[in-house]
């Protein structure tokens, strides 16, 4: 067993995953009191139903006005493309009008006719950095992000840090980098590993049977050198995991570690 200091919530019923995960995120924000919160949102099929539930919880408990939202990563496609993370974020977290859309600073999209080059990628990162400098002063870079929401791909990627890229070595003053994974059809803007590691809290949302093999590797294979595994072995994070994603060994370990967090 790897020496981990992780927090686990295992969700036994698939239909309970979104509301349980949303409740966990809201509780972490509530623990910060009445200060402003900066939350970084990942894309993917798992978090979007969670975001929709989260909006209702935050609107009901009065936390909504304290929250400001940015993107953990984004595909460099047009904002209305079906693969755009910000499109899906707007259609989940903000779809019911419970949270103010102006509190969401979406990432730049597309390459605006520019050639794919280090210079054009750097301009995209700089553009987003300048956008984030319009946040309330206490939330502006280089202040740590309060909460980063992450997922895990079947290859162990998280955010848009993919195993076949130089994810471990990329740093920048903006806190963002553009990666061009061989496995993906377009370049991706992402928070750098350094910026993710600086966050006050990290939450991984993992659901579905296809994620079971990669979680086995992250938690039980010390040789598995993926971005998600690196983060897990380097610092504490909170995991909300659907039972289909957790084999019996992981479920047993999670129960021993956090017996109160089986839903």
Question: pLDDT tens across 104-150, in order?
Answer: 999 987 765 556 788 889 999 999 999 999 999 999 999 999 999 99
Per-residue pLDDT tens over the stretch 39-51: 999 998 999 999 9
Among the ranges given (21-25, 29-33, 56-60), the one the predictor scored with the smallest mean pLDDT? 29-33
Q: What number is the average pLDDT over the span 144-171?
A: 97
Q: What number is the average pLDDT over the span 143-161?
A: 97
Q: What number is the average pLDDT over the span 242-259?
A: 87
What are the boundaries of each domain within the chain? Answer: 7-261
- Whether 38 and 68 have beta carbons less than 8 Å apart is answered as yes
Q: Under 8 Å CB-to-CB from 185, ≥6 apart: which residues?
A: none
Tokens for 122? 């750097």
**Model pTM score:** 0.94
Q: How high is the pLDDT of residue 3? A: 46
Q: Which CATH number fits domain 7-261: 3.20.20.10, 3.40.50.1360, 3.40.50.300, 3.30.420.40?
A: 3.40.50.1360
Q: What number is the average pLDDT over the span 62-81?
A: 94
* Sheet order of strands, 188-191 included: 73-75, 188-191, 176-179
The Cα 213–Cα 112 span in angstroms is 38
Our CA angle for 107, 110, 115, nearest 5°, is: 130
């Amino acid at each position: 067993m790897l020496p981990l200091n992780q927090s686990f919530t295992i969700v036994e019923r698939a239909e309970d995953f979104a509301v349980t995960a949303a409740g966990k995120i809201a509780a972490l924000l509530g623990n910060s009191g009445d200060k402003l919160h900066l939350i970084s949102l990942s894309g993917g099929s798992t978090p979007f139903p969670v975001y929709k539930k989260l909006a209702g919880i935050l609107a009901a408990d009065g936390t909504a006005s304290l929250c400001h939202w940015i993107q953990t990563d984004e595909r460099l496609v047009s904002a209305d493309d079906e693969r755009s993370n910000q499109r899906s974020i707007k259609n989940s977290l903000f779809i019911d009008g419970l949270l103010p859309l102006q509190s969401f600073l979406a990432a730049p999209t597309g390459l605006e006719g520019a050639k794919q080059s280090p210079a054009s990628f750097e301009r995209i990162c700089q553009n987003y950095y300048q956008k984030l400098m319009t946040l309330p002063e206490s939330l502006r870079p280089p202040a740590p992000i309060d909460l980063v929401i992450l997922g895990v791909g079947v290859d162990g990627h998280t955010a848009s840090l993919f195993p076949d890229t130089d994810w471990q070595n990329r740093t920048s003053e903006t806190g963002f980098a553009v990666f061009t994974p061989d496995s993906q059809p377009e370049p991706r803007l992402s928070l750098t590993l350094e910026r993710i590691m600086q966050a006050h809290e990290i939450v991984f949302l993992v659901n579905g049977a296809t994620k079971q093999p990669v979680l086995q590797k992250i938690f039980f294979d010390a040789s598995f050198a993926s971005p998600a595994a690196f983060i897990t072995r380097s610092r504490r994070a909170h995991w909300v995991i659907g039972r289909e994603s957790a084999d019996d060994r992981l479920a047993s370990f999670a129960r021993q570690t956090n017996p109160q967090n089986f839903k």
